[in-house]
Amino acid sequence: MKILHLSDLHLFKQETPDLTEEKEAGLIIGSIVKRWKSDHDKPVILVTGDIVDDGQEKQFIKAKEILEPLKANGFEQVYIPGNHDYGPNGSHACAKKFKFFKKYLYGPDYRITYPDVPISTDDVSIIALNSMKSELGFFDSLLADGELGNKQLDELAEIIDDIRDSKGRGHIILVALHHHPFLYPDDDLFSKLGEWFGHYLKDGADFMKIVSNRIDALLFGHEHRHIDFSKEFPEFKLTDKYRIPVILSNGKSTEKHHPARLLTIERNQPIKVEELHL
Ligand SMILES: [Fe+2]
């Protein structure tokens, strides 16, 4: 199986007038379709959150239109919610916005609860998490931090056990979420304070205890930094620390160079990771 990892499209942010997120997303989608249109082995398109910028219904309606060529050309898609999908500028989460996310990205009849296992073959299972699930209280909902919540964490542990029991050795488990579950090793004190104040995954340490040495790949976005943790920060090699061979944060895919990664996954084989600029 091939998985194309994108993240943080932020459609309708309009960060710079000459580089709109919608135009860049259109280029990315066009490039994906052109590259794999006639392949039998099309990659699953996995987007780790912040598909739109403010969680507005009209933004999701247009996002659906922009993403439509993927569906029309037979690509499987997995969308994971981020803080910007839940509210204005990603800093005021509202459960109602998540209904728009589900309705327009998955269809009005699609039932989805997290943890979700959208894909499970003999070779690989993808587990999708919602790092906004426990961020909807009155004060919780403010700022850009995330929280998986105890229920989702307990269910995640059970799902990993079930998959390991039923699929046997050599099966690849990939977990994807929006928020980064640990602080970046090169954050200075000022950055760390900002993270603690309102940007990080509050129960990230509990999450990492559950997945350490139990999964094969961990993918996320949110920070807009494009990092392969098996290669960067050799003095703090997080893939060794957490005993997860592949840990990847994806940059904002609608930035000019369209950072993306293609993962090729086969049972009993190391995951192959290729950097792509679509
Ligand atoms: Fe985010």
Q: What distance in angstroms lies between residue 40's CA and the mean position of ligand 1's atoms?
A: 33
Q: What distance in angstroms lies between residue 122's CA and the mean position of ligand 1's atoms?
A: 32
On whether the pTM is more than 0.85, the answer is yes
CATH number at residue 111: 3.60.21.10
DSSP-derived 3-state class of residue 155: helix
Q: What distance in angstroms lies between residue 41's CA and the mean position of ligand 1's atoms?
A: 30
What is the structure's pLDDT at 139? 63
Q: What distance in angstroms lies between residue 269's CA and the mean position of ligand 1's atoms?
A: 32
Q: What distance in angstroms lies between residue 98's CA and the mean position of ligand 1's atoms?
A: 14
Q: 275 vs 54, 114, 194, CA distance in Å?
A: 29, 29, 29
Residue holding tokens 């499987």? 76
pLDDT in tens, 26-56: 999 999 999 999 999 999 999 999 999 999 9
What is the structure's pLDDT at 128? 98
What letter does residue 43 receive in the DSSP assignment? P
Q: What distance in angstroms lies between residue 94's CA and the mean position of ligand 1's atoms?
A: 15
Q: What distance in angstroms lies between residue 23's CA and the mean position of ligand 1's atoms?
A: 20
Q: Which residues contact 164 (CB under 8 A, 6 or more apart)?
A: 171, 173, 214
Record the tokens describing residue 133, joined without a space: 């699930």
Q: Which residues span the domain enclosing 244?
A: 2-277
Q: What distance in angstroms lies between residue 154's CA and the mean position of ligand 1's atoms?
A: 24
Name the domain count of the chain: 1
Q: What distance in angstroms lies between residue 222's CA and the mean position of ligand 1's atoms?
A: 4
Q: What percent of the chain has pLDDT over 70?
A: 97
What is the structure's pLDDT at 256? 81
pLDDT in tens, 49-98: 999 999 999 999 999 999 999 999 999 999 999 999 998 887 777 888 89
Q: What distance in angstroms lies between residue 145's CA and the mean position of ligand 1's atoms?
A: 8
Whether residue 6 contacts residue 275, with contact meaning beta carbons closer than 8 Å, is answered with no
Q: What distance in angstroms lies between residue 204's CA and the mean position of ligand 1's atoms?
A: 15
Q: What distance in angstroms lies between residue 252's CA and the mean position of ligand 1's atoms?
A: 10
Residue 141 has pLDDT above 70, yes or no: no
Q: What distance in angstroms lies between residue 268's CA and the mean position of ligand 1's atoms?
A: 33
**What average pLDDT score do residues 112-125 get?**
95
Q: What distance in angstroms lies between residue 117's CA and the mean position of ligand 1's atoms?
A: 22
- Higher-pLDDT residue of 271, 137: 271
Lowest mean pLDDT among 46-50, 77-81, 130-134, 185-189: 185-189
Residue 140 has pLDDT above 70, yes or no: no
Residue 136 has pLDDT above 80, yes or no: no
**What letter represents residue 166's amino acid?**
S
Q: What distance in angstroms lies between residue 58's CA and the mean position of ligand 1's atoms?
A: 19
Record the tokens describing residue 90, joined without a space: 């990603």
What is the structure's pLDDT at 138? 61
Distance from C-alpha of 235 to C-alpha of 232, rounded to nearest angstrom: 9
Q: What distance in angstroms lies between residue 226's CA and the mean position of ligand 1's atoms?
A: 14
Q: What distance in angstroms lies between residue 89's CA and the mean position of ligand 1's atoms?
A: 9
Q: Which residues contact 172 (CB under 8 A, 6 or more apart)?
A: 123, 124, 125, 216, 217, 265, 266, 267, 271
**What average pLDDT score do residues 229-257 get?**
93
